[in-house]
Structure 1
Amino acid sequence: MTRSGRNPEKRVKTARGRTASSNRWLSRQLNDPYVKQAKAEGYRSRAAYKLIELDEKFGLLKGAQRVVDLGIAPGGWSQVVRKMAPRAAIVGIDLLPTEPIEGVTIFQMDFMADEAPEALEGALDGPPDLVLSDMAANTVGHKQTDHLRTMGLVETAVDFAIQTLAPGGAFVAKVFAGGTDSELLTLLKQNFATVKHAKPPASRKGSSEWYVIAQGFKGR
């Protein structure tokens, strides 16, 4: 603590072999209040607060009974669902390994695989009323390519939601700067009562990520 009463930012000690970008990332982590809060409250990642903030604004988890978490790793969003809707059945999927979460069925597999939708549906006793997607494609450093790859995941998630959601259900997905492309936005508006974009406070200011929130699924 300084004489002014402010906590000075933690400085990252330089290390051989560590890149400048790695140092910036580590410095940001050490000084990020959401990272500190996540550790204090037992969440696996700061991303948990993005869902908490979206839920505060849109009431996504109120009355949720069956939830699908696409891109579950490391598990922060499912932890939030468990806390906010403790009676909900939850199933998640990710290419990356995810430590077990009590009350959550987790598949380590590619969501784009043909067998993935059936596996997710089979783990729930009925259609989901909420499909969450925090998926993003691995970046290659080319902005347009990265955007297209992530939007490919979003399109697949939208198709899954439309095919599986219960009437009145909701869909949330991470998109990037520019939001959802026009064709996908039209598809969402055709199938949901309301479609909005939001950037929760927990999303870093320098990040291009946004979320699309579609509520009131009209049914098939």
Structure 2
Amino acid sequence: MTSQWTRDKYYTRAMREGFRARAAYKLLEIQKRHTVIRDDDNVVDLGAAPGSWLQVLKTFTQGTIIGVDLNAIAPMEGVKTIVGDFTTPEVQEEVRGLASGIVSVVTCDASPKLSGATSYDQARAIALGEDALAFAVTILKDGGNFICKSFQGEDFPELYAEVKKHFLSVRTFRPLASRRGSKEIYIVAKNFRRQKDGAEG
């Protein structure tokens, strides 16, 4: 009953305030707590559909905002969108072009389609997080920041450790807007360090 009430509470609020999904409140909480996005940052949001994080990002920065998803995102003033797979070099090059070569922040609130098998779903979520990290490492400027949704499970510490190899500050955060009982958790990483060829950690 409580879980249903929580879901309805944020869904109703999102509809009332004009957000495309309740997930908007998660990013608002993350930014309030960790100040990941600055007012001139160029930001890329991965798995951006339907676009609630893009709506929130517009309130944080005057920089270029780019949403990438396999599905089309309904047009939004002040936001550029790409339909495609962010793991491909073609999409990454398109992102660079739209951002004029400078990406300050990468965000990812994407989830795999859930099967109901907990261990399988968690493994797929970790794999998605690894793909998002690989994208961020490829495209972020030095000193850039990264937010990524993941799910707690036996493989999570490995992903967390991998993120720590590339960022000076890495923390986890669970927004109040997350559904009660959900295993989701956000990795908030700041100050990207581009590794030299052959360098470790």
The TM-score with structure 2 as length reference comes to 0.88
What is the one-letter code of the residue matched to 2:131? T
Other-structure match for 1:181: 156
Q: 1:211 to 1:179 in 2, by over 3 A?
A: farther
Which structure 2 segments of 5+ residues have no match? 196-201
- Taking the aligned partners of 1:75 and 1:59, their CA distance within structure 2 comes to 20
Residue 53 of structure 2: which of 77, 101, 110 is its match? 77
Question: Could you give the per-residue CA deviations for residues 121-141 of structure 1, whole angstroms, max 9, x where no partner exists?
Answer: 222112211100011111122
128-137 or 117-126, which moves further after superposition?
117-126
Other-structure match for 2:176: 201
* CA-based RMSD: 2.1
- Taking the aligned partners of 2:39 and 2:59, their CA distance within structure 1 comes to 13
Q: Secondary structure at the match of 1:166?
A: strand
Runs of 4+ in 1 over 4 A off after TM superposition: none
Other-structure match for 1:51: 27
Point out the structure with max Rg over C-alpha: 1
- 1:160 counterpart = 2:135: yes
Q: 1:61 to 1:149 in 2, by over 3 A?
A: same
Other-structure match for 1:89: 64
Aligned residues of 1:179 and 1:197 also touching (Cα < 8 A) = no
CA positional deviation for 1:34:
1.5
Identity %, equivalent residues: 36
Q: 1:149 to 1:91 in 2, by over 3 A?
A: same
CA positional deviation for 1:114:
4.3
Corresponding pairs, count: 194
Residue 63 of structure 1: which of 14, 39, 63 is its match? 39
- 1:35 counterpart = 2:11: yes
Other-structure match for 1:210: 185
Q: 1:156 to 1:64 in 2, by over 3 A?
A: farther
The TM-score with structure 1 as length reference comes to 0.81
Which structure 1 segments of 5+ residues have no match? 1-8, 10-24
Q: Secondary structure at the match of 1:101?
A: coil
